[in-house]
Amino acid sequence: MDDVTFSVDGHVATITLNRPAKLNAVTPEMADAIVAHVGTCNDSDTIRCVIVTGAGERSFCAGSDIGELDRYDTPWAFRNRPDYCDAIRSLLKPTIAAVNGYAFGGGLETAMSCDIRIASDNAQFAAPEIKLGWIGGGGMATFLTHSIGPSNAAMMIMTGDPVAAEQALAWGLVSAVTTQAELLPRASEIASTIATRAPIAAETAKLNLKAAFAMPQEKAIEYERDLQTICFATEDAAEGRAAFAEKRAPLFRRR
């Protein structure tokens, strides 16, 4: 059985961490598999949205498998390992994290590397690395600070204690909380909606949101206008205008 599974339903791909007996903790081999599946998604003209989730009800992802960390011969080898969070962030397509159970350490960073996060009511979020003698290295501080504010981020990173789903919702770490049974259907519903939108516009919207974090405001607005111009010049934009005029649903082709 593959420890990372990949499926496509229409325009929506799903990457599932499939090691529930180990709380979906990620091994180096799983990281390699995630990198490969991300490449498949990025190369596809038909995949328009990607769901990332974990198998079973107990855990989305408990982070890197700590028992595997001693496989790295030197700190430099550890520093330069293939990183699954980097891979998720490199997805060109919009991404949804469907968080069931534990999202700890690298699992929390994986969820925060997705564009949209929804959680089941049993979800818990934590940055527990400090309890083991280190800190997160997959974007923990920057993502938490932007998502929930500096004080709440400091609380999570400096204590390592978990935060329940409803608190995560109140802080803005997730967009919605569902029952466990409703989690994947809700994620699929959101993904299907995104998949009906113009694909190039969705991908440039993702770039635009990243720029809003990284750039000064005036530069971000300039960049947004450039992205808008690129979208406006596509065949899909012409189709959107034609469909609006003809009062019909548009047929977007990622062109």
Instruction: Name the residues annotated as catalytic.
Output: 109, 129
Give the side-chain half-sphere CA count within 13 A for 161.
6
Cα–Cα distance measured from residue 41 to residue 88, given in angstroms and rounded to the nearest whole number: 11
Contacts of 43 (CB under 8 A, 6+ apart): none
Residue 32 has, within 13 A of its CA and on its CB side, a CA count of 4
Q: Is the separation of the CB atoms in 105 and 84 below 8 Å?
A: no
d(CA 104, CA 125): 6
Nearest partner of 23 among 113, 135, 105, 131, judged by Cα: 105
Q: How far from 101 is each of 57, 61, 71, 125, 144, CA to CA, in Å?
A: 6, 8, 27, 8, 19
Residue 10 Rama label (left phi>0; alpha psi -120 to 50; beta): left
Query: Alpha-carbon distance 202 to 207, whole Å?
Result: 9
* Count of Cβ atoms closer than 10 Å to residue 56 Cβ: 16
**How far is 191 from 171, CA to CA, in rounded Å?**
23
β-pair type (95-99, 102-104): unpaired
